[in-house]
Amino acid sequence: MKKLISILTASAAMLELLLAVVLLTADYFTPNSYTVINGNHLEWLSGAITVVGDSDVSANVSVSYPKTYQGTMMLYNLIPIKSVDVSVVDQTCVVPCGTPFGIKMYTDGVVIVGLADIQTSYGPVNPAADAGMKIGDIITQVDGKEVKTNSEVAQAVENCGGKSLKLSIRRDSENVTVELKPVRSETDGLYKAGLWVRDSTAGIGTLTYYNPSTKSFAGLGHGICDSDTGELMPLLSGDIVPVTINGVTKGLKGKPGELRGYFTDDNAIGNLVANVPTGVYGYLQSVPNTKPVKIAMKQDVKPGKVKILTTIQGQTPKYYDAEIERIDYRDQVQSKNMILHITDASLLTQTGGIVQGMSGSPIIQNGKLVGAVTHVFVNDPTRGYGVFAENMFIESKTVESSVLSKAS
């Protein structure tokens, strides 16, 4: 009898430990907030996990939107896991694009992308490093005068006459003032600071969607980062222009491919207003001629077959087969929300899978926009990451509110 009790006690302890592990895992890998479309219910998220809301609130969701209430995430509708926030919103339809676009972007300030020694008569010196300047710093003013271009910074340094300059820089959202003392280069006799700087960038990406109600667009699925620093480039202004794809460098293991194309003309078809981790956002002047679709909320996205809409030749997008292999629902994951596997034989033959320039290509599942292609796996070009369409849409609403606020 004692042996049986011992066995039962040990079994109960094991079950309790197993349940604790299951609850902790569910807590870690599930979001703390959800969005649900008006008229729908946030019920079975999987075969085991549900979110149960306040019945009084959820029954009275016809008031005004967005409306937020608190729910409880449950295991098998019996065991509480954690409290979650649920936002009820109106259904939004957007136009999936998949069309290539050219980006012309100018930075808000001048970005330091490198430091270099200057050869002087008394040896190599790096004035910028001596002043405490770092790669990734953004120069906004020189001696109290605003600077926006590389040439403005270079001119101020060359004309300093050996005197120290006060530079205002932005570093990790903080404003810092440093004193820079340029030195005379032994090579050409000019005063230099030992800085490599950048004030603009250009490239090719893919439009994800157009919102007819606001005339806004979202693209890329990830932000534009400086190639040297890896940091998001601070946007001052930017345009998007039409692009024609005229070739593909096929992706290989260890060597990502890319779409090759050219700017069809310099006439802007839209303007950029935000460059953030989930993509680039702005407003279009021309309206895409594609049927609108509904945006899927993240809990509606499931592993399985999907279509991606992308352009690998000319300006006309086509649908290709793919599959979502894994999904990460966590709130803190901004852009790498799913692992996408290209299965379309035609696309694999032509591109090898996902290539640079396809970032932003819409992902369609069950007739809804569920996300956009973002990054390729360097060692497996048939696979890459995707971002939730919901994340991009929420960001676009934030951007639109900011634009309206500034305008008023």
Active site residue 83: no
Q: Which residue in this structure is represented by tokens 């895992």?
A: 25
* Sign of the dihedral defined by the CA atoms of residues 260, 264, 265, 271, in that order: negative
Tally the C-alpha atoms within 13 A of residue 134's C-alpha that lie toward its C-beta: 9
- Could you tell me the two tokens for 123? 């040896």
Catalytic, out of 199, 226, 300, 344: 344
* Active-site residue, selected from the candidate residues 168, 216, 335, 359: 359
Structure tokens at 86: 């649920």
Q: What's CA 392's distance to the chain center, in Å? A: 8
Q: Looking at 199, 222, 239, 375, which residue is catalytic? A: 222
Q: Is 238 helix (H, G, I), strand (E, B) or coil?
A: strand
Give the span between the Cα atoms of 66 and 32, in whole angstroms.
Answer: 17
Q: How far is CA 222 from CA 123, 333, 351, in A?
A: 43, 12, 21
> What span, in angstroms and rounded, lies between the C-alpha atoms of 317 and 219?
14
Amino acid residing at 94: V
Contact 256, 356 (CB under 8 A): yes
Q: What strands lie across the sheet with 79-89, from one edge to the other?
A: 33-37, 79-89, 67-75, 49-53
Spatial separation of the C-alpha atoms in residues 372 and 295, rounded to whole Å: 12
Please give the Cα distance from 173 to 6 (Å, whole number).
60
- Among this protein's residues, is 222 annotated catalytic? yes
3-state per-residue secondary structure call for 326-360: EECCCCCCCCCCEEEEECCHHHHHHHCCCCECCCC
- What are residue 182's DSSP bridge partners? none
217/396 Cα distance (integer angstroms): 8
Residue carrying the six token digits 């973002």? 374
Active site residue 402: no
CB 97 within 8 A of CB 361: no
* Catalytic residue numbers, as ranges: 222, 344, 359
